[in-house]
Amino acid sequence: MKKIKSKELSELSREDLIKRLNDLRTELSKFRSAAARGTLKKELGEIKSVRRNIARVLTVMNQTNKREQKKE
C-alpha cells in the first residue's frame, strides 16, 4: 500500500473520505487476521502503512470539520 498524500485527501468530499476510511479499515482487519494465522510474511510492513493512512484520513476529516464549524 502506498502512502496517501494529505493534499489528495483534502480535495475529496466527505462521502469519499468515509468510503476510503472504511476500505482502509477492512484492509487492516484482513492484514491482522493474516498475521494472526501466520500467513503474513512479506507484507508485515503493510500493517504500519495502513494504520498511518487511516490516521491521515481521520486527520483530514477532523480538519475539515473544524473549518466548517469556524465558518458558522
pLDDT attached to residue 43: 61
DSSP state for residue 68 in the 8-state scheme = H
pLDDT attached to residue 67: 87
Q: Which fold has domain 6-71?
A: Helix Hairpins (1.10.287)
pLDDT attached to residue 25: 97
Average confidence (pLDDT) over 24-32: 93
DSSP state for residue 12 in the 8-state scheme = S
C-alpha to C-alpha distances, 7 to 15, 52, 59, 70, nearest whole angstrom = 17, 15, 12, 21
Q: Give the cell for residue 45.
A: 510492513
- 3 or 19, which is more confident: 19
pTM over 0.75, yes/no:
yes
9 pLDDT higher than 80:
yes
Exposure of 31 by Cβ count < 10 A (0-12 exposed, 13-18 middle, 19+ buried)? buried
In which band, very low, low, confident or very high, does the pLDDT at 45 lie, cut at 50, 70 and 90? confident
DSSP state for residue 39 in the 8-state scheme = -
Domain ranges of the chain: 6-71
